[in-house]
Amino acid sequence: MTTAIGIVMTEHIVAGRFQDQRLTGRLLHYPTNTDEVHALTAMPGSDLVNLLATHIASLADSAEGPVDAIGVAVPGIIRYGIIEDSPNLPQIKGMRLAMELTRVLSARGNTAPVHVTNDADAIAAGVAATRGQLDKLTRVWTIGNGIGYGRWPYVEGVWEGGHITVTLDPKERFCGCGGLGHLEGIMGYRAMRMRFLDLEPEEVFLKGRQGDPRCKEFVDLWHRALAAATSSFIHLAGPGRFYFTGHNVEFLDLALLRSHLETMVKMSPLQSFSLEILPLDDEIALLGASVSAIRALTERCA
């Protein structure tokens, strides 16, 4: 039996313990008020590390046996346990998170190896695990304040799909990273609020469905941008199933997305793609973080 702890840090922190990929015990949350979406953005990086360690230690101390691995999922470019960039949590940019967490946890008597992964990659791993498809390519778009792209199995690379360029229009400068023409600059919640200073994103999509010309045009652009990015990954890695989840996945119209994709993917071997919306579920991301940690431990021991 393998025991792993998964912890995900995005707009909030959630942590859970898994035995043989099954959740045991309760989930831990911070903040406890899930409507508070800015609780982490102003917190110093050192305080975030201590907060993560506190949740991990609490779950480890209540386990019946030793913890084999700890999986941590955070947004941004993650390589070798280092947060190379994280536009939505800028205070952790450059942090050697795996090393820092290992140091703090060791001082508390917890010595399980720490593996850090991108949050969207963790969701892809969790989806693959829940469907018994850990041997198959799984791709996930997460739609929220930022736009994440996750894939399983992990292969070396940056994979910042939310920052793929989908337009050459120099006016498209709403991406949080400052880049022009990015997918996140069209689809991201923050970017939409900057674009429509007189409307909230929910109002834009509501008015678009009601036929408002300006909003309807943007809703179409939003879907065409996602189709363009998805088409790019189909042309690079082949067809297959794409999953969509996140806080704002309710904005997504699969029929409209598919209609745009069909204009962009014309080579017959690439047309066997499928699209599926997943409800937002912290447990899937936690499972993925723990699965990634166990896989990394296995590869390290091989």
176 within some domain: yes
260 within some domain: yes
Q: Are residues 88 and 151 in the same domain?
A: no
Q: Tokens for 289?
A: 């973080």
Domain span including residue 89: 3-123
Q: What are phi and psi of 117, to 5 degrees?
A: -135, 165
295 within some domain: no
- pLDDT at position 112: 95
Q: Are residues 111 and 246 in the same domain?
A: no
User: What is the domain count for the chain?
Assistant: 2
- Whole-angstrom distance, CA of residue 204 vs CA of residue 122: 30
Q: What is the CATH number of the domain that holds 236?
A: 3.30.420.40
Q: Does the bond joining 31 to the residue before it have cis omega, within 30 degrees of 0?
A: yes
Q: Which residues of the chain are modeled with pLDDT < 50? A: none
290 within some domain: no
State the angle between helix axes of 254-264 and 213-237 in degrees (0 to 180), rounded to the nearest 10.
50
- pLDDT at position 37: 66
Q: Are residues 153 and 262 in the same domain?
A: yes
136 within some domain: yes
Report the predicted TM-score, pTM, of the whole model to 2 decimal places: 0.92
Q: Are residues 105 and 186 in the same domain?
A: no
* Beta-carbon contacts of residue 42 (< 8 Å; ≥ 6 apart): none
- pLDDT at position 134: 93
- Given a contact cutoff of 8 angstroms between Cβ atoms, the answer to whether 71 and 291 are in contact is yes
Of 123, 154, 176, the residue that ends a domain is 123
Nearest to 287 by CA among 279, 275, 295: 295
Q: Are residues 96 and 196 in the same domain?
A: no
